[in-house]
Amino acid sequence: MNEELDAMSEILDVGCGTGQTAAFLAAQSGANVTGVDINPIMVEKATHRMKEAKLPVRIFQGSIEALPLEDEKFDLIMCESVLTFVNQPKALKEIFRLLKKGGRFISNEFTANVSLPPWIADEINRFYGINSVLTEAKWQRLFEGAGFTNIRVSGQNQSMLQYNPNPDFLYSKHIEPELYTVMNEHFNLLLKYNELLGYRIFACGK
């Protein structure tokens, strides 16, 4: 990421999880970072991380489809594997509202490398509890429809399997054992459809 960030920058990390990315951005750039997640357990973990690291990062619980924040507040908004699981038009409208003119929105999203056969799409949608896995072209149309411009795309040649499991999730004593089974099924699904599934990083302007 080549964004120019400093102590005057305002950053929003949507779906911040345990706060790993938000903490890194705050520590490296000195920017004013806000993290939001809909899951109260993730909010608790992220808040604890910031206290341990003594970082002035604001963490709160909320949905990206409607956030109690003022218009055009942020220079940079970013999210990782969030838009696939929400109402995309509503979420993108909200992100566009919160982004300053001249700001950047960066999203890393689960993407179908080709249009999926219906039986494969159904298996994937049922497992993840989503409506569909979008292709790169469909993602771009969504971003353009929300008003974003200068859309740059990367990650086309990268496999989802290159990602290592999140150690905060896999090795936490506070995670229910049943969730380890879900993670194993997740990686088995990625292995099964490795050629069909990937991710894309979309960098969008306003």
Give me the CATH code for the 63-205 domain, please.
3.40.50.150
Segments making up each domain of the chain, as ranges:
63-205
Two structure tokens written together for 41: 């357990």
State the pLDDT at residue 2: 47
Whole-prediction pTM: 0.85
State the pLDDT at residue 158: 65
Two structure tokens written together for 16: 């911040």
Strand, coil or helix: 144: helix
pLDDT by 10s per residue, the chain, length 206:
446 788 889 999 999 999 999 999 999 999 999 999 999 999 999 999 999 999 999 999 999 999 999 999 999 999 998 999 999 999 999 999 999 999 999 999 999 999 999 999 999 999 888 988 999 999 999 999 999 999 999 987 666 656 544 444 454 554 556 666 777 787 788 888 888 998 999 999 99
Is residue 37 within 8 Å of 49, Cβ to Cβ? no
State the pLDDT at residue 194: 86
CA gap 150, 189 in Å, rounded: 33
